[in-house]
Amino acid sequence: MTAPSHVQRGGPTDPSHDERLRRGIILTDLRPGVAWALVVGFLVVIFAVPLGQFVIERIRDEESALRSMFQEIPTKESLARLESDLEQTSYAKDYVQPRVQLLLSSVAREGNEKAVIGGAGYMFYKPGITFLANPGFLEPELIALRERAAHDAGDVLVADPRPAILAFHAELAKRGIALVLFPVPDKAMLQPGQLHGRVSRDRPTPTARSRDWAPLITELKRRGVLIFDPTPEQIAPGDEPRFLVQDTHWTPGFMQHVAGELATFVKSHAQLSAPGPGVAYSRRPVRVSRVGDIVDMLKLTEGQTRFLPQEISISQVVDASGEPFQPSPEAEVLLLGDSFSNIFNEEFMGWGSAAGLPAQLAVELGRPLDVIAQNDSGAFATRVALELELQRGNARLAGKKVVIWEFASRELAVGNWKHIDWSKATDGGNELAK
């Protein structure tokens, strides 16, 4: 509001200053014309976006999300749904956000709620940084906070990973199957120089860990769970990059190195049968290129040239007849994996096919491999997929001696470790758990 000319205006020492603030009065000195211009401009901005959205939807004969506001009594759930629908269908957002994000990312190296832009063109997935920087993921207060937040949002979440891991281990043990737990280290752990630059150029840097990593591993090993951890103890100056520049996933070279170590670990902890006759795999180089999935997360404009594709060489695995690697349900080893298993292996990820962890592991083991892999939610999705297979009577555990459960290590802190009732699962008509 504009201060009347007869009102005495003083600074903070004016006795009336605190009284006006308590009453919510802030004195300004704006000419009426300027005040009206600000008000009108504000109203235009407020109403232009929804009116523009409505006009475009009418022209295109589309159903308007705003119509639902007048078709039901507003509730917390309906308003949240409306907000989500408006965000997904907003033409103004679709036009403005990619362009503003491209400008911010190019000029200020600014990411978004998922992406962090580091040095030398490297990008990082924010949940992986959260995994390292936040308090321990086994803290009771943090577990309760995550579960309560999910409950308030109408979801069911189990934040503590231990019960799910131990229950799965116990159910497999009843069938004489060994569980190998394989949490893949995060990019933020193994590329610290590109993330924050605070590393020595003269001596190795200890690899960062979540503070609850050691207690978790100690407890699981004490309960008989086999843990495969390929994380190096330290990052040496001049180490080859272990992760793709713009992607959340590992490089083909590091992945292939890990596959070799994993095969050695499995062979040393399981009595596998001799490979059948005619089992032979070989590798052939293939060049592929793509912008990373973190660039996808930025949701930039189509055809942007600020972030260019990275070209790499993958090693595609073929059998004796020259056919690309395919999983074998009859194999003694089953790999449950997430996108770290699918990358380089599944064409839809854009980085080639038959060259990922399953294929490389089959080469290193010298035997066929069974695979169930789904992107995202590695803490829960592949267990559900296996349970559904068993409920349908598919004998995915018949003849198995080892189940490798691969998931991104950040899942320990951000994943959903919901309970699965394995007693309802069958394996070719036999109960999995009595």
pLDDT digits (tens, 9 = 90+) for 77-98: 767 776 777 777 788 888 899 9
Using DSSP's 3-state secondary structure scheme, residue 132 falls into helix
Amino acid residing at 117: I
Amino acid residing at 297: M
Tell me the per-residue pLDDT of 115-167, one tens digit each, with 9 for 90 and over.
Answer: 999 999 999 999 999 999 888 999 999 999 999 999 988 899 999 999 999 99
Mean pLDDT of 230-251: 96
pLDDT for the residue 227: 98
Tell me the per-residue pLDDT of 287-307, one tens digit each, with 9 for 90 and over.
Answer: 999 999 999 999 999 999 999
- For residue 382, pLDDT beyond 80: yes
Q: Could you tell me the two tokens for 112?
A: 């978004």
Which residue's entry shows tokens 């281990």?
Answer: 169
Using pLDDT thresholds of 50, 70 and 90, give the confidence band for residue 17: low
- For residue 201, pLDDT beyond 60: yes
pLDDT for the residue 69: 61
CA distances from 246 to 81, 116, 249, 298 (A): 32, 10, 9, 11
pLDDT for the residue 93: 84
pLDDT for the residue 9: 52
DSSP string, 376-433: S-TTTHHHHHHHHHHHTT--TTTT--EEEEEEETTHHHH-------GGG-EETTEES-
